[in-house]
Structure 1
Amino acid sequence: MRSYEAGFAPLDLDADHGWEVARPLGGLSLGGVRMAGFRDRIAVGLDKRPLPQPAVVVVIGLGDDPFTVEGATGQQRLRSFVAALSPGPARIRGERVECVEMRLSPPAAFALLGVSPRELDRSVISLEALWGRHEWRLREQLTEATTWQERLRLMDEFLLGRAARAPSVAPEVAAAWDHIVARRGRVRVGELAASCGWSRKRLWSRFSTQIGLTPKRAAMLVRFDHAARALLAGENVADVALASGYVDQPHLHRDVLAFAGCTPGALASRTTSG
């Protein structure tokens, strides 16, 4: 059984790993959304402990078997689920997996999910709990579609319809998030507040409500995400600390321990050959 450490299933998987992977042709209608279809061609199986990342992950299962999700609240059997920015200790398993996965930036998640990422409460929850009957109708349509491109087109149209009816984050909050991402987390809150013309207190309040993290925590998460990907790719810990903007290796050590629950060396030793 293959174990994937960063994201539900890395988007660079190919036939050599036993997965069929489909990406939208011609792009998507909305910004802040990444989407792909996955099918386990040779019964590799899925066994995953997700890492925190600066995206809300939505997975809609199309196969006959639900996912088994274990977390702080116990074990659930879910056809579709949403993983928070920092999902906490969780394990997601599946057999004969066939699904559509979306990764939503926090501003996109705020609009498309109908709740602030903060309300996901650091966990993995049922998508049906958020979308109700729309979830099972969508899953039924996706399952009945005969090609991946038809499925991804249906998904894109569904999201476009939700976006047309949904509230959006404040332009200042969206700009602050974009700035954090562009700078790979190497920003100061005072700099963000000055750039949007708000006080630090107002930015802290509005950003936390709509993004689900404080500006400082968001910057830490974005920086950690870049460092974690580099470590999982086998890069040297000292080089990663320097390239990711950490003051020194102990600083990287503290952030990796806080987000991943292990040391940088332990994180680097994880493998997708599981």
Structure 2
Amino acid sequence: MSVAAVTIPAVDGTAATGGLTFVEGRPGAFLRPYVTELSAYSERYEEPLARRQPPFAGVVVIFGVGEPLALSGPGGRAVLASFAAGLHDTYVDTTTVGAAEGVQVNLTPLGARRLFGMPLSELANRVVSLEDVLGPWAGVAVERLAGISGRHDRLALLDALLARRIQAAPDPDPRVGWAWRRLRATRGTIPITELAGELGWSHRHLVTRFRDQIGTTPKAAARVLRFEHAAARLRAGLSPADTAAACGYYDQSHMNRDFRAMAGITPRELVTAGRAIAVA
């Protein structure tokens, strides 16, 4: 597993002192189809730092060994150090205060389905305690991570723990895996009826299987993928009008409405704010 160290200053220096330091690791070969990002982090702020996290086409898992985060989203409010956030189609607000530390894992939906062994519909637009999805294994993993001080060593340990657990779990439905890859390859623009037809499934059956394996309907997942594609194009400096056309929106107003619903801000504000948005 390769690693790289990165240090980032506080997002809003008027609201917090200190900053975020993290080490990114490339998952081992077995985990790569299931884990898209793996990082060990620490951050400290004397005053509360509020951030808005836009949705992305995956599942976030935090193994926290420091102070808990306050989280607020469509599924309610919670204060948790270790948690799982299912596939969302809107933003989640977080507040960090004190010293937060741990390891973050970004999973593909199918990776999360295999790791958790439960229908991902139960996690859609929700943030829950890690023990709710991983049982006592979560507490054992967090305890072992807390016993290691080096971030590189934490990444190596968690890589091994996740690989062992996922390897012992049943494979996800390969037909849903194919449909998910097809949806990703088209960045959410393929008509859902066409996707169902290519599988030889009814629309209802495709929706049922997607809810179980991905967490949302194909239509909702496609909307998140379009949002991700549009945000990436805008950050690359492409114009809003061209981005709306390329990403399958009816027009720029349609894209603006989706951004407000999913990120809570306009496309231009998202570009200037960065990946995580500091909010008042």
TM over 0.5: yes
Q: Select the residue among 108, 111, 118 that pairs with 2:111.
A: 108
Number of equivalenced pairs: 262
Q: Match of 1:82?
A: 84
Tell me the equivalent position of 1:69. 71
1:170-191 deviation per Cα after TM superposition (whole angstroms, max 9, x unaligned): 1110000011112211211233
Mark the CA change 1:72 to 1:208 in structure 2 (over 3 Å): closer, same or farther: closer
Structure 1 contact 50–87 (Cα < 8 Å) conserved: no
**Aligned equivalent of 2:230, options 224, 227, 232:** 227
Q: 1:255 to 1:87 in 2, by over 3 A?
A: closer
Say if 1:145 and 1:87 are closer, same or farther in 2 by CA, change over 3 A.
farther
Contact 1:46 1:97 in 2 (8 A): no
- TM-score, length-normalised on structure 2? 0.81
Residue equivalent to 2:21? 20
2:267 counterpart residue number: 264
Match of 2:258 in 1: 255
Unaligned residue ranges in structure 1 (runs of 5+): 1-11
Comparing 25-34 and 202-211, the one that deviates more: 25-34
Deviations 1:86-111 (A, max 9, x none): 17564222232222111111111111
Contact residue 120 and residue 213 of structure 2 kept, 8 A: yes
- TM-score, normalised to structure 1, is 0.82
Q: Aligned to 2:216, what secondary structure does the other structure show? A: coil
Secondary structure of the 2:104 match is strand
Query: Take 1:269 and 1:40, find their aligned partners in 2: how far apart are those partners?
Result: 22
In 1, Cα distance between the equivalents of 2:244 and 2:83?
A: 33
Please tell me whether the aligned partners of residues 23 and 36 of structure 1 are also in contact (alpha carbons under 8 angstroms). yes
Q: Is 1:157 paired with 2:160? A: yes
Tell me whether 1:246 sits opposite 2:238 in the alignment. Answer: no
2:25 aligned counterpart, secondary structure: coil
| Structure 2 partner of 1:119 | 122
**More displaced stretch, 108-117 vs 254-263:** 254-263
- Specify the SS of the correspondent of 2:22: strand
How big is the shift at 1:61? 1.1
Alignment gaps of 5+ in structure 2: 10-18
Give the C-alpha shift of residue 226 in structure 1.
Answer: 1.7
Q: Find the residue that maps to 2:21 and give its secondary structure.
A: strand
CA RMSD of aligned residues (A): 2.9
- Is 1:96 the counterpart of 2:88? The answer is no
Q: CA deviation at 1:231?
A: 3.9
Superposed counterparts of 1:176-255, under 5 Å: 176-231=179-234, 235-255=238-258
Amino acid aligned to 2:95: R
Which structure shows the higher strand fraction?
A: 2
Determine the structure 1 residue equivalent to 2:41: 38
Could you tell me how far apart the structure 1 residues matched to 2:152 and 2:160 are? Answer: 12
